[in-house]
Amino acid sequence: MEKNNSVKDPLRIAAVTFLVLVALLICYGAVRKNLSRKAEANSAPRYIFLFIGDGMGNSHVAAAESWLSWKKGQNGGEQLLFTTFPELAMMSTYSADHQVTCSSASATAFSCGIKTNNGFIGAAPDSLPAESFAKGLHEKGYRVGIMSSVPINHATPAAFYAHQTDRYGYYPITLQLPASGYEFFGGPGFAEFAGRNGDEEPSDVFLERNGYTVCHGPDELRSNMDKPNLVFCDASNRGRSADEYSLDYDSTRTPIADILRLNLEYFGTEEPFFIMCEGGEIDWAAHENSVYPMVQAILRFNDAVAVAYEFYLSHPDETLIVVTADHETGGLAIGYDYSWHQSVQDWAAVEADWAEQGHRDTFGIEERLRRQNSWGFGWSTNEHTGAPVPVYAIGKHAERFNGRIDNTDIPRLITG
């Protein structure tokens, strides 16, 4: 009996050891799988869209929805697509040296997550370059697209690829574009196409010489989609500077929604991507205190958001869409006229006035303000204000965009 027990004991020990090892392996596998799921849940979205409506405050959004409601014969109730998104935050916009920011400082906050001085682009207050989170994503394998409805070297798009202490140095900004290595840039074209005095190497020649294919118009871009790095410009801006601060919207220009479609067609879905899309002429119209072209600019911006939303519907678990503004412009209010007589927002008069002017502003600022005030729209300034701006979000990690945030929080909230 003692001999049999001495034989069985090692067998029992081996069996118990085997079962313990199996149990440990099962637990390890479960823990590893759980950690993998948590890592995946906390990872950056695969497809990221950041929309920036330049100068688009709460009242600007309300005015656009007021116009949409009027078109339906209602006093209210109609919404822009992005205001239907489930998450809403309010965002502060002050810069490092001013309570009221400029576009370059706010775009740098979006791009680099830091406060900087007004007039600086992609640079800290000490003038040293600051890295964009888009660059960090690019280094992780994301393709990057930067586009705007205004020149590609204006402040907001520039903050994602350039480092300058003068936002108005458009040509030096262009010279820094190739160093980003980003795969797609799009917009009407470039300000200071051949330098401030017109005696520098043309922007398209410089970019072609530094690894980019510059395409003028949709057909030309589609015929070059096999190339590694593309720049889209309007056909009308071949060999010339793009217009700046113009309210005379040219219907021959490629809408920002179509530029985004071209970018998505070029990128596909095999690789992750980040796209920044700016509606720049919203700000231009607000600077002029002109409500009708401002609303039309917001509607074009909303059309671009709709393109991203259509993409999101096919990839809801992998896509994040964030829509916001860099600051508020104009101090727009919707309400009574100066005589305190209750007024109705008279969109019929606004629209007729715009048509009578030939779809451009021909009045001086005082006459324009007088007319708009009588129609229920008032402006407090023709510059930026320090008012907080809205942030709308949908998709993966959209719940992070909630409550009161600062513009420097945007990179962290997007990437985690």
Note the pLDDT tens digit of each residue in 42-70. 689 999 999 999 999 999 999 999 999 99
Q: What does the pLDDT profile of the chain (416 residues) look like in tens digits?
A: 445 555 556 667 766 676 766 666 666 665 555 544 444 556 899 999 999 999 999 999 999 999 999 999 998 999 999 999 999 999 999 999 999 999 999 999 999 999 999 999 999 999 999 999 999 999 999 999 999 999 999 999 999 999 999 999 999 999 999 999 999 999 999 999 999 999 999 999 999 999 999 999 999 999 999 999 999 999 999 999 888 766 666 777 899 999 999 999 999 999 999 999 999 999 999 999 999 999 999 999 999 999 999 999 999 999 999 999 999 999 999 987 666 655 678 999 999 999 988 888 888 889 999 999 889 999 999 999 999 999 999 999 999 999 999 999 999 999 98
3-state class (DSSP) for residue 216: strand
Enclosing domain of residue 6: 1-42
> What is the distance between the alpha carbons of residues 107 and 177, in angstroms, rounded to a whole number?
16
Percentage of the residues of the chain whose pLDDT score is greater than 90: 78
Q: Is residue 344 part of a domain?
A: no
Query: What is this structure's pTM?
Result: 0.90
- Residues 160 and 302 reside in one and the same domain: yes
The DSSP bridge partners found for residue 109 are: none
- Residues 328 and 280 reside in one and the same domain: yes
Q: What is the CATH number of the domain that holds 98?
A: 3.40.720.10
- Residues 10 and 114 reside in one and the same domain: no
- What is Dmax (Cα atoms) for the chain? 114
Q: Is residue 349 part of a domain?
A: no
As for how many domains the chain has, the answer is 2
- Residues 387 and 288 reside in one and the same domain: yes
- Residues 25 and 100 reside in one and the same domain: no
Q: Is residue 168 part of a domain?
A: yes
- Residues 57 and 199 reside in one and the same domain: yes
- Residues 288 and 403 reside in one and the same domain: yes
- Residues 275 and 323 reside in one and the same domain: yes
Tell me the DSSP string of 69-137: HHHTT-SS----GGGGSSEEEEEE---SS-SS--HHHHHHHHHHSS---TT-BSB-TTS-B---HHHHH
> What is the distance between the alpha carbons of residues 415 and 183, in angstroms, rounded to a whole number?
20
- Residues 293 and 210 reside in one and the same domain: yes
- Residues 60 and 198 reside in one and the same domain: yes
3-state class (DSSP) for residue 293: helix
- Residues 15 and 53 reside in one and the same domain: no
Q: Is residue 348 part of a domain?
A: no
- Residues 94 and 234 reside in one and the same domain: yes
Q: Which of 402, 400, 292 is nearest to 349 (CA)?
A: 292
